[in-house]
Structure 1
Amino acid sequence: MYALDDTIVAIASPPGRRAPRGMIRASGPDSFSILAAISNLTPPSKITRAIARIRITISGAHSLPCLAACYRSPHTYTGQQSVELLLPGNRDLLQRITQAFIAAGARQAEPGEFTARAFFNGKLTLTQAEGVAATIAAESDAQLRAAAMLRQGKLGQAADALSNQVADCLALVEAGIDFSDQEDVVAISRHDLHTRITQVYNSVTQLLDRSIPSEKLAATPSVVLAGPPNAGKSTLFNTLLGRRRAVVSHLAGTTRDVLTEILHLDPHNPLSPEIALSDLAGFDSTDPTGLNPAMQQAAHRAVSAADLVIHLQPSDSLAPAIADESLPGPPGLHAQRLLHVYSKADLGADTKEPSRPSPPPALRVSVHDPESLARLRDAIAHRLAGLTTTLSSDVLALHPRHEQTLRAARHVLSSLVEQTTVPGDPEQHSHADDELVAADLRTALDTLGQLNQRISPDDVLGRVFSNFCIGK
Structure 2
Amino acid sequence: MTGSGFGGNTIAAVASAPGNAPRAIVRLSGALEDLDSLFVEQVPRKRCAQAMTLRLGESELRVLVMVTIAPASYTGEDSLDVVIPGGPAVVQRVLSEVLAHDGIRQAEAGEFTARAYTNGRLGIEQAKAVAAIIAAENEAELAEVSRVMDAHLGEQASAWSTQAARLLALVEAGIDFADQEDVVAIAPGDLIQELDGLLAGVRANLSGEGVREAKRETPRVVLAGEPSSGKSTLFNAMLGQQRSVVDAQPGTTRDVIVEPMTLPGGGTIQLVDLAGLDEAPMGEFAQRIQELANKEIERADVVLWCEPTGVFGSSPKSSGATVRVRTKADQPIAHESAADVDVCALDGWHLDELKVAIVRACGLAGPAAGGAIAARFDSALREAERGLQNAKELASADAVQWELVAGELRSALDGLGVLAGRIEPDEVLGLIFQTFCIGK
TM range (shorter): 0.5 to 0.7
Q: Distance in 2 between matches of 1:209 and 1:201?
A: 12
Q: State the 1:382 CA deviation.
A: 12
Q: Does 1:380 align with 2:342?
A: yes
Q: Distance in 2 between matches of 1:373 and 1:88?
A: 56
Q: Distance in 2 between matches of 1:142 and 1:199?
A: 35
* 1:69–1:85 contact (8 Å) kept in structure 2: yes
Q: Does 1:42 align with 2:42?
A: yes
Q: Does 1:156 align with 2:141?
A: no
Cα distance, 1:381–1:414 mapped onto 2, change above 3 Å: farther
User: Who is 2:117 aligned against?
Assistant: 119
Aligned counterparts, 1:445-460, within 5 A: 445-454=413-422
Q: Does 1:439 align with 2:407?
A: yes
Q: Distance in 2 between matches of 1:157 and 1:372?
A: 46
Q: State the 1:364 CA deviation.
A: 7.9
Q: 1:27 aligns to what SS in structure 2?
A: strand
Cα distance, 1:154–1:7 mapped onto 2, change above 3 Å: same
Q: State the 1:100 CA deviation.
A: 1.3
Q: State the 1:157 CA deviation.
A: 0.5
Cα distance, 1:36–1:157 mapped onto 2, change above 3 Å: same
Q: 2:240 aligns to what SS in structure 1?
A: helix
Q: State the 1:210 CA deviation.
A: 2.8
Q: State the 1:99 CA deviation.
A: 1.2
User: Who is 1:235 aligned against?
Assistant: none
* 1:40–1:54 contact (8 Å) kept in structure 2: yes
Pick from 55, 67, 79 the counterpart of residue 70 of structure 1: 67
Greater CA drift, 446-455 or 162-171: 446-455
Q: Distance in 1 between matches of 2:412 and 2:54?
A: 54
Q: State the 1:452 CA deviation.
A: 2.8
* 2:383–2:411 contact (8 Å) kept in structure 1: no
User: Who is 2:380 aligned against?
Assistant: 405
User: Who is 2:84 aligned against?
Assistant: 87
Cα distance, 1:82–1:299 mapped onto 2, change above 3 Å: same
* 1:138–1:144 contact (8 Å) kept in structure 2: yes
Amino acid at match of 1:135: I
Larger Rg: 1
Aligned counterparts, 1:128-207, within 5 A: 128-145=126-143, 147-148=145-146, 154-179=152-177, 186-207=184-205
Pick from 7, 20, 23 the counterpart of residue 21 of structure 1: 23
Q: State the 1:72 CA deviation.
A: 0.8
* 1:68–1:86 contact (8 Å) kept in structure 2: yes
Cα distance, 1:152–1:421 mapped onto 2, change above 3 Å: same
Cα distance, 1:117–1:455 mapped onto 2, change above 3 Å: closer
Q: State the 1:191 CA deviation.
A: 0.4
Q: State the 1:380 CA deviation.
A: 2.9
Q: Distance in 1 between matches of 2:239 and 2:141?
A: 26
Q: 1:87 aligns to what SS in structure 2?
A: strand
Q: State the 1:38 CA deviation.
A: 2.9
Q: State the 1:20 CA deviation.
A: 3.3
Amino acid at match of 2:377: H
Cα distance, 1:415–1:377 mapped onto 2, change above 3 Å: closer
The size of the alignment, in residue pairs, is 329
Q: Distance in 2 between matches of 1:401 and 1:181?
A: 41
Deviations 1:151-172 (A, max 9, x none): 7892211110111111111011
* 1:128–1:153 contact (8 Å) kept in structure 2: no
Amino acid at match of 1:37: S
Q: Distance in 2 between matches of 1:113 and 1:379?
A: 38
TM-score of the superposed pair, with normalisation by structure 2: 0.61
Q: Distance in 2 between matches of 1:178 and 1:162?
A: 24
Q: State the 1:200 CA deviation.
A: 0.7
Q: Does 1:414 align with 2:389?
A: yes
Q: 2:419 aligns to what SS in structure 1?
A: coil
Deviations 1:317-364 (A, max 9, x none): xxxx9446899xx999855898769xxxxxxxxxxxxxxxxxxx9888
Q: Distance in 1 between matches of 2:329 and 2:185?
A: 71
Deviations 1:217-270 (A, max 9, x none): xx9x9x9xxxxxxxxxxxxxxxxxxxxxxxxxxxxxxxxxxxxxxxxxxxxxxx
TM-score of the superposed pair, with normalisation by structure 1: 0.58
Q: Greater RCO between the two (CA within 8 Å, min separation 6)?
A: 2
Amino acid at match of 1:126: I
Amino acid at match of 2:37: A
Cα distance, 1:183–1:451 mapped onto 2, change above 3 Å: same
User: Who is 1:270 aligned against?
Assistant: none
Q: 1:26 aligns to what SS in structure 2?
A: strand
Cα distance, 1:377–1:454 mapped onto 2, change above 3 Å: closer
Q: 2:76 aligns to what SS in structure 1?
A: coil
User: Who is 1:9 aligned against?
Assistant: 12
* 1:365–1:373 contact (8 Å) kept in structure 2: no
Q: Distance in 1 between matches of 2:423 and 2:329?
A: 60
Q: 1:77 aligns to what SS in structure 2?
A: coil
Amino acid at match of 1:304: Q
Deviations 1:76-125 (A, max 9, x none): 11111111122232222112111111122211111111112112222222
Amino acid at match of 1:161: A
Amino acid at match of 1:415: N
Cα distance, 1:191–1:111 mapped onto 2, change above 3 Å: same
* 2:70–2:77 contact (8 Å) kept in structure 1: yes
Q: Distance in 1 between matches of 2:275 and 2:359?
A: 26
* 2:12–2:106 contact (8 Å) kept in structure 1: yes
* 2:10–2:105 contact (8 Å) kept in structure 1: yes
Q: Percent identity?
A: 33
* 2:329–2:344 contact (8 Å) kept in structure 1: no
Aligned counterparts, 1:335-350, within 5 A: 335=276
* 1:170–1:441 contact (8 Å) kept in structure 2: yes
Q: State the 1:127 CA deviation.
A: 3.2
Amino acid at match of 1:407: R
Q: Does 1:365 align with 2:331?
A: yes
User: Who is 1:258 aligned against?
Assistant: none
Cα distance, 1:24–1:183 mapped onto 2, change above 3 Å: farther
Q: Distance in 2 between matches of 1:184 and 1:83?
A: 62
User: Who is 2:54 aligned against?
Assistant: 56
Q: Distance in 1 between matches of 2:8 and 2:200?
A: 44
Q: State the 1:412 CA deviation.
A: 1.8
Q: State the 1:128 CA deviation.
A: 2.6
Q: Distance in 1 between matches of 2:306 and 2:148?
A: 37
Amino acid at match of 1:196: E
Q: Distance in 2 between matches of 1:390 and 1:372?
A: 31
Q: Distance in 2 between matches of 1:13 and 1:135?
A: 15
Cα distance, 1:301–1:417 mapped onto 2, change above 3 Å: closer
Q: 1:187 aligns to what SS in structure 2?
A: coil
